[in-house]
Structure 1
């Protein structure tokens, strides 16, 4: 679907805001990438470590607050 030249020059207010924000703060994208890497990009866990941690896990009783009598 083709738009006329009039619509190809249109930018929404949100796009204009983001463009001006990136122009005013050029390191913004790099800091976003660094934050993503800090929170989401994790180092891979090898299978042996994963298996050992699963075996070491202690099962929890179904209802935690009930005493065993």
Structure 2
């Protein structure tokens, strides 16, 4: 048997105890990172409809 670090042994043991771990990780990644392609027409509509912010946000009542 080849040498395995403590971390590799821990990960292998964790995967053996919880076989659904990798699927749960993929699901979590899909929620947070995997996004749909940007619709450029919709993005331009959103940007053109934004109200410009004044340079001095806290002093608008002068």
TM-score (norm 2): 0.88
Say which is worse superposed, 15-24 or 40-49, in terms of deviation.
40-49
Alpha-carbon shift at residue 62 of structure 1 (Å): 1.8
Aligned-residue Cα RMSD (Å) equals 1.4
Structure number with bigger Rg: 1
Runs of 4+, deviation exceeding 4 Å: none
What's 2:20 paired with?
27
What's 1:61 paired with?
54
List alignment gaps of at least 5 residues for structure 2.
none
TM-score (norm 1): 0.80
Say which is worse superposed, 57-66 or 31-40, in terms of deviation.
57-66
